[in-house]
Structure 1
Amino acid sequence: MSHRTVEIMDTTLRDGEQTSGVSFSASEKLTLAKLLLEELKVDRIEVASARVSDGEFKAVKNITEWAKSEGYLQKVEVLTFVDKGVSLDWMVATGAKVQNLLTKGSLNHLTHQLKKTPDQHFKDIGEVISKAETLGITTNVYLEDWSNGMRNSPEYVFHFLDFLTAQPVKRILLPDTLGVLTHQETFDFLDQIIQRYPNTHFDFHGHNDYDLSVANVMESLKAGVHGLHLTVNGMGERAGNAPLASVVAVVNDFMPNIAINVKESSLYKVSKLVSAFTGFGIPDNKPIVGDNVFTQTAGIHADGDSKKNLYFNDLLPERFGRKRKYALGKTSGKANIQKNLQELGLTLNDDELKKVTERIIELGDKKERVTKDDLPYIISDVLDSEWHQQRVFVKSYVLTHSKGLKPSTTLSIEIDGKAYEENAQGDGQFDAFINALKKVYGREKMELPKLVDYAVRIPPGSTSDALCETIITWQTKEKSFTTRGLDSDQTVSAIKATEKMLNLF
């Protein structure tokens, strides 16, 4: 089967920057330009709109200086306007050599926005293209609103293309500007154009307003387009552009006659960096680059993966520089826990595994987020709980902390079947809890061990909703000993450690 190579033009730095609330600094643009061309191996990048700002000028100048030194200058493109050459003068000052000239691809836009006739518009465009040629600037031409042009004024579009294909233009760029095309329309419109102009290079620029951008990209390739415009994380105006990672995976897996140069294993790295620079978060369920994409949650899936990889598909995480993970929660079951234990190098017997599973399910029911890093803490807590017979139960407590008032605790506790209730104040909530506890044991003429050390830790790399482990060392007249408590709330984990002490004591 013969292969044809399709160009990938990444427009994250231009169209992607039109995401609401997103703006790249000049240094960020340079960093991403280097990554996109050298690490990710995209064929071209669109880096800015001409005349926008002084910052944009500086960003483009930095990129072109680097690109020229590395032989990438013809891969760097700038959006320009039909403005009697003002954009071209701006480009010359930045050192850029490829313009993507924005023109009107529908009669509706031309009539109501520019208020010109087709011939007037074509004349203005011809003058810009001619000036670009004298300046040594390569011209590609955008037909803005082309998709609606094909729907509502196809005669105008073909009249325009007849004009452009006779001009010194390298590529014609066909955008679904408003993201309105269905996959069938995408194929039909592009098929008509490519058959009519077989010697012209056409790019397809898809938007995602109906979540159809990837399907439309596939249809554009079937119709024979020569280039695609994509963005990292699908960034862009409104619902964004066709997402780079998804398109790369789809083309590589489902379109064997199409070749692209993008390096799959770098997609995730670049995706995370773009997210960090922009503050534009990646949804957990976003294909290829989302946090949950290679995470199995259901225990039956983890079990199946252990039995001939029954729940694997061709989207192996290693392709994208990632690893498969197994979530811990109320639906995970023993199989998920075993997978995480293997990764940590830990082993449990069947009885221990059952108890740990029950604890994780309990935490899941409370909507606690449990991670692999939490697992050693949970194991320690569960197995530590087995070492003593429980005779003391902290049944209930109310912890209060108000501005201007000392923290207080009301405590309900059961000792050998007998219920007690006390209230006390303290320097903090846990101190108030201990003081209430001292009152209970004072009734029975019993002295509690002294608290001599108190430490709190969370699993390394965990987030603000992580489980925390409180480790308390106690001192009696005879010896010292340590107990641990585990919970997402620090005070509650300390109370659990104290309950263990009471049973050991």
Structure 2
Amino acid sequence: MKARIFDTTLRDGEQTPGISLTPDEKRLIARKLDELGVDVIEAGSAITSQGEREGIKKVTSEGLSAEICSFTRAVQVDIDAALECDVDSIHLVVPTSDLHLEYKLRKSREEVKEMAIKSTQYAVDHGLLVELSAEDSTRSDMGYLREIFQAGIDAGAKRICACDTVGMLTPERSYDFYSQLSDLNVPLSVHCHNDFGLAVANSLSGLRAGATQAHVTVNGIGERAGNASLEELVVSLHSLYNVKTKIKLEMLYEVSKTVARITGMYLQPNKAIVGENAFAHESGIHADGVMKKAETYEPITPELVGHKRRFVMGKHVGSHIIKERINEMGFQVDEAKFAQIFSRIKALGDMGKCVTDVDLQAIAEDVMGVMSEKPVELQELTIVSGNKVTPTASVKLKIGDVEKLEAGIGVGPVDAAIVAIKKTIEDVTDIEFEEYHVDAITGGTDALIDVVVKLKHDGKVVSARSTQPDIINASVEAFLGGINKVLTDKKLQESEKSP
């Protein structure tokens, strides 16, 4: 069995409150979706605005392999707008529940059926493939639903879709519901919303019941609680049902990150498949098991979806992980000193802290009596920011025996300071900002600010933290802490290589 993937990130996904994509952003996401291997890209709703039509046209002009589709209502003006954009198909949607007919459209069942027939015929006559979709179908009368679908098929619709518009299905009901529509002799799509957190489960049940195509969005974005998540659905099909799709699974994490960055809708860490904690381990028992054989505590490998495994140091951390990290830092410790290091990490974990690489290095150096050398030290920091003033920062750093002064501008004072520091160290090392996280850990305007940064260098990720009342100073200190960790590790590696 093979399932088709109809991606509606650019239409249903964009209806997420707070998301509004530019034409170029739509084109960029569409390219990624096409590279990922989706069968259909619903690029938007052409009737929405001139900007929306421009965005859809940019997608259709790319020459992508995927079928490009526009959402339309059952009215000629919508179909004409879609034709203007040169799409391959339309997702023609008509409400079918009595609730929608009475209170939204104020039309009879017969009138709506006639609209569906005329619109389908008009679209087909103008060369469009029509996927006829029933809105709020799961609260519709089944007899009427089958009647309107059959009328649409007779008028030329090549696919049908039944939408669980407000997420009312359960997996059991989903199977029964889609089973009653799978004998209409055209491909059937399942379209589920996540109001009860069941969109993926209901989509899987619909596919088992005879549907051949699933409507999804990257990261499950969409109105209210969102839509069925593309990455969760396709990996479940692959790993749990042995059902194939055209999706390149190894690209899922990359595409997820791209969509999150462009839309500004960042994921909760524990999001299945693509969340930052999806393959993160802290528990000593779990981490030890994964190190010995990944399958002990991972149902799939992170490499399958282009993700990476990581181990987190906190109160649940086991000794194996700490020993490995200490060895990576170039320290040789005996059992007595290791016990001290391990005890201090556990104590920090009991205080609610997650131990960063810089914390671990500082603890190890302290226990071993090593003076902590800082390759880069902050001498001066000046920030200028305010209303109608471009945030500007100047920093003076001491790098070894050399003092360097640089300035930078940014979207805010923190960004300006980081830009200035990056310019100062660009001749020393190449570092990428991987992640920046801020928490206020006390109340009031003088709250303590906890800043955690993750920096990437030569494929390795280093974390560092600073806790201060001032967010700028905390950010700068954390960033410099990470830089010093990278430079210290680099120095250790070079000394080990030298004869």
**Do both proteins adopt the same fold according to a TM-score greater than 0.5, normalized to the shorter chain?**
yes
What residue is the counterpart of 2:27 in the other structure?
Answer: 30
Counterpart amino acid of residue 174 in structure 1: A
> 1:76 maps to which residue?
68
Partner deviation per Cα, 1:327-374 (whole Å, 9 max, x = no partner): 111221312213434665655332332222222223223333323454
* Equivalent residue number for residue 498 of structure 1: none
Match of 1:433 in 2: none
* Matching residue within 148, 153, 160 for 1:160: 148
Query: Would you say 1:288 and 2:273 are equivalent positions?
Result: yes
Counterpart pick for 1:137 among 128, 131, 134: 128
Q: Following the alignment from structure 2 to structure 1, what is the Cα–Cα distance between the partners of residues 264 and 83? A: 32
1:191 aligns with 2:176: no
Alignment map for 1:34-433 (pairs within 5 Å):
34-38=31-35, 40-67=36-63, 70-72=64-66, 75-83=67-75, 85-149=76-140, 153-195=141-183, 197=184, 199-256=185-242, 258-309=243-294, 311-341=296-326, 347-372=332-357, 374-384=359-369
Report the Cα distance in structure 2 between the residues aligned to 1:260 and 1:310, rounded to whole angstroms. 24
| Structure 1 residues 305 and 71: alpha-carbon distance in aligned structure 2, compared to 1, 3 A threshold | closer
Corresponding letter in the other structure for 1:287: A
* Cα distance in 2 for residues equivalent to 1:343 and 1:206: 47
Distance 1:335 1:236 in 2: 42
* Gaps in structure 2 of 5+ consecutive residues: 373-424, 426-430, 439-449, 454-464, 478-499
Aligned to 2:417: none
- Give the corresponding residue for 2:3: 6
In the aligned structure 1, how far is the partner of 2:19 from the partner of 2:452? 34
Contact 1:48 1:60 in 2 (8 A): yes
Aligned counterparts of 1:144 and 1:222: Cα–Cα separation in 2: 21
Structure 2: distance between partners of 1:347 and 1:287: 38
For residues 6 and 95 of structure 2, the distance between their equivalents in structure 1, rounded to whole angstroms, comes to 21
**Matched-pair contact (CA < 8 Å) for 1:300–1:335:** no
Question: Contact (CA 8 Å) 2:68, 2:88: kept in 1 or not?
Answer: yes
Check 1:298–1:237 CA distance in 2 against 1; reply closer, same or farther (3 A cut).
same
| CA–CA separation in structure 2 for the residues paired with 1:19 and 1:308 | 40
TM-score by length of 1: 0.72
Tell me the SS of whatever aligns to 1:46: strand
1:86-112 Cα distance to aligned partner (Å, 9 max, x none) = 112212222223111110222331233
Structure 1: state its 5+ residue gaps.
388-456, 469-485, 494-505
Q: CA 1:371 to 1:137, structure 2 compared with 1: closer, same or farther past 3 Å? A: same
Please tell me the residue identity of whatever aligns with 1:9: F
Alpha-carbon distance change, 18 to 467 in structure 1, aligned in 2, over 3 angstroms: closer
Q: 1:466 to 1:299 in 2, by over 3 A?
A: farther
Tell whether the 8 Å contact from 2:39 to 2:246 is kept in structure 1 after alignment: yes
C-alpha distance in 2, partners of 1:274/1:341?
36
Percent identity between the two aligned chains:
33
| CA spacing shift, 1:60–1:346, aligned 2, 3 Å | farther
Give the match's secondary structure for 2:5. strand
Question: Which is worse superposed, 91-100 or 349-358?
Answer: 349-358
Inter-CA distance 179–346: structure 2 relative to 1 (3 Å threshold): farther
Instruction: Note if contact 1:264-1:320 (Cα within 8 Å) is conserved in structure 2.
Output: yes
Please give the secondary structure, in 2, of the residue aligned with 1:127: helix
Letter in 2 for 1:335: H
TM-score, normalised with respect to structure 2 = 0.73
User: CA 1:307/1:57 → structure 2, altered by over 3 Å: closer, same or farther?
Assistant: closer
Q: Which residue of 1 aligns with 2:482?
A: none
Q: Is the 8 A contact 1:24 1:278 kept in 2?
A: yes
* Aligned residues of 1:334 and 1:354 also touching (Cα < 8 A): no
For the aligned residues, what is the CA RMSD?
A: 2.5
CA contact under 8 A between 2:4 and 2:39: conserved in structure 1?
yes
Query: CA contact under 8 A between 2:89 and 2:129: conserved in structure 1?
Result: yes
Query: Residues of 2 paired with 1:44 and 1:308: CA distance?
Result: 38
- 1:232/1:308 Cα in 2 relative to 1: closer, same or farther (>3 Å)? closer
Shift of 1:12: 0.6
Give, in angstroms, the shift of residue 167 of structure 1.
2.0
Distance 1:467 1:71, change over 3 A: closer
* 1:28-74 alpha-carbon deviations (Å, 9 max, x no partner): 11000000012x1111111101211121111011111113xx454xx
Greater Rg over alpha carbons, structure: 1
CA contact (8 A) 1:187 1:219 kept: yes
TM-aligned CA distance change 1:117 to 1:101, over 3 Å = same
Using the alignment, how far apart are the partners of 1:279 and 1:64 within structure 2? 24
- Residue 124 of structure 1 and its aligned partner are, at CA, apart by 1.9
- State the number of aligned residues: 390
The amino acid across from 1:312 in the alignment is: Y
Q: Residue 178 of structure 1 aligns to which amino acid in structure 2?
A: V
